[in-house]
Chains A and B, each alone.
Chain A
Amino acid sequence: MLHPKSSDPSTNIRLRIRLGANFPYLMGNIRIFGILLLLVIAFGIVAPGFLTVVSAQSILVSTALFLLLALGETMVIISGGIDLSIGSMLALSGMISGVVMSHFYHTGQGIMLSVIGLAVALAVGLCGGMINGIVIAKLRLNPLIVTLGTMGIFLGIAELISNGLPIANFPPFLFAVGNNGFGLPWLLWMTIVTVIVYGIVLSWTRFGRYVYAYGASNDSVIRAGVNTAMHTTWLYGLAGLGAGLAGYLSTAHFETASPVAGSQYLLVAVAAAVIGGTTLQGGEGSIGGTVIGALIISVLENGFVIMGLASFWQLVAVGAMVIVAVFFNDIQRRRKITAVGRTSPAGEN
Chain B
Amino acid sequence: MDNGAVLRIEDVNKSYAGIRALQNVSARFGPGLTAIIGDNGAGKSTFMKILSGVTLPDTGSLFLNDHLIHIASPFAARKLGIESLYQDLALADTLNVYANMFLGRELVRRVLGIPFLDERQMARLATETLDQVRINIPSVHTMVRSLSGGQRQAVALARAIHFKASVLLLDEPTAALGPKETDSFNQIIMAVVREGKTVIMVTHNIPQMMEMADRVIIMRAGQIVAQTDPKDTSQEEIMAFMVGSRRAV
User: Which residues of A approach B to under 8 Å, CB–CB?
Assistant: 1-7, 9, 13, 16-17, 20, 23-24, 204-206, 209, 212-213, 215-217, 219-226, 283-284, 336-337, 339-349
Interface residues of B (CB under 8 A from A): 73-75, 78, 84, 86, 88, 90-96, 99-100, 103-106, 108, 115-117, 119-120, 123-124, 127-128, 130-131, 134-141, 143, 145-151, 153-154, 177-178, 180-181, 183-185, 187-188
A344 cross-chain contacts in B, Cβ below 8 A:
147-148, 150-151
Partner of A347, one of B84, B93, B94, B136: B136
Among all A-B residue pairs, the 9 with the closest Cβ atoms: A224-B104, A225-B75, A346-B150, A347-B184, A283-B94, A344-B148, A216-B92, A213-B92, A346-B154
Pair B74/A7 contact, Cβ less than 8 Å: no
Contact B115 A206 (CB under 8 A): yes
B137 contacts across to A, CB distance below 8 A: 4
Q: Which of A5, A221, A283, A345 has the most CB of B within 10 A?
A: A345
Contact B138 A219 (CB under 8 A): no
Complex contact B127–A345 (CB within 8 A): no
- The secondary-structure label for the interface of chain A is loop
Cβ-closest chain A residue relative to B138: A349
Can you spell out 13 A-B residue pairs with CB atoms less than 8 angstroms apart?
Answer: A3-B136, A5-B127, A5-B138, A5-B139, A7-B140, A220-B91, A222-B74, A225-B104, A283-B92, A344-B147, A344-B150, A345-B151, A347-B135
Nearest-Cβ distance from residue A223 to partner chain B, whole angstroms: 5
CA distance A342 to B146 in the complex (A): 8
Please give, as numbers and ranges, the residues of chain B lying within 8 Å of A217 by CB-CB distance: 90-93
Name the CB-closest residue of A to B153: A346
Q: Which residues in A have their C-beta under 8 angstroms from that of B104?
A: 221, 224-226
Q: How far is the CA of A225 from the CA of B104 in the complex (A)?
A: 6
- Determine whether the beta carbon of B91 is less than 8 Å from that of A346: no
- B149 pairs with A342, CB closer than 8 A: yes
Q: Point out the residues of chain A lying under 8 angstroms from B143, CB to CB.
A: 24, 336
> How far apart sit A297 and B151, CA to CA, in the bound complex (Å)?
41
Report A-chain residues with C-beta under 8 Å of the C-beta of B119.
Answer: 16-17, 20
A213 to B145, CA, bound (A): 12
| Cα–Cα distance between A262 and B14 once the two chains are bound (Å) | 54
Query: Which of chain A's residues have a CB closer than 8 A to the CB of B149?
Result: 342
In angstroms, Cα B152 to Cα A341, docked, is 12
Known: A3-B136, A4-B139. A345 touches B181 (CB 8 A): yes
> CA separation between A2 and B117, bound complex, in Å?
29
Complex: how many Å from CA A152 to CA B128? 53
A-side contacts of B74, CB under 8 Å = 222-223, 225
Q: Which of B86, B116, B153 contacts A205 (CB 8 A)?
A: B116
Does the CB pair B184–A348 fall under 8 Å? yes
In the complex the two chains form, what is the Cα distance from A196 to B105 in whole Å?
Answer: 25
Cross-interface CB contact of A206 among B95, B117, B120, B134, cutoff 8 Å: B117
* B123 pairs with A212, CB closer than 8 A: no
Q: A346-B135, A346-B188, A348-B180 are in contact. Are A220 and B145 (CB under 8 A)?
A: no
Q: How far is the CB of B57 from chain A (nearest CB, A)?
A: 20
The complex places the Cα of A23 from the Cα of B135 at a distance, in Å, of 24
Task: Give the residues in chain A near B108, CB-CB below 8 Å.
Answer: 206
Given contacts A24-B96, A221-B103, A342-B149, 19 further A-B contacts (CB under 8 A): A3-B130, A4-B135, A4-B136, A13-B141, A204-B116, A204-B117, A205-B116, A206-B106, A209-B95, A224-B103, A225-B78, A283-B92, A339-B146, A345-B181, A347-B134, A347-B150, A348-B180, A349-B136, A349-B151
Contacts of B135 in A (CB 8 A): 4, 346-347
Across the interface, do B93 and A283 meet the contact criterion of CB distance under 8 Å? yes
Least CB distance from B94 to A in Å reads: 4
Contact of B184 among A336, A337, A345 (CB under 8 A): A345
Per the bound structure, the CA–CA distance linking A209 and B95 in Å amounts to 8
What chain B residues lie within 8 Å of A220 (beta carbons)? 90-92, 100, 103
Interchain CB contact under 8 A, B185 and A205: no
Are A212 and B92 within 8 A (Cβ)? yes
Q: Output the least CB separation between A200 and chain B (Å).
A: 8
Q: Is A4 in contact with B120, judged by CB distance below 8 angstroms?
A: no
Of B124, B131, B147, B183, the residue contacting A340 (CB under 8 A) is: B147
Q: Please judge, given known A-B contacts A17-B119, A347-B134, whether A337 and B145 are in contact too, CB under 8 Å.
A: yes
List chain B residues, Cβ under 8 A from A17: 119-120, 123
Question: Roughly how many angstroms separate A13 CA and B119 CA in the complex, as a whole number?
Answer: 10
Which residues of chain A have C-beta atoms less than 8 A from B138's C-beta?
5, 349
Inter-chain CA distance A282–B22, complex, in Å, is 38
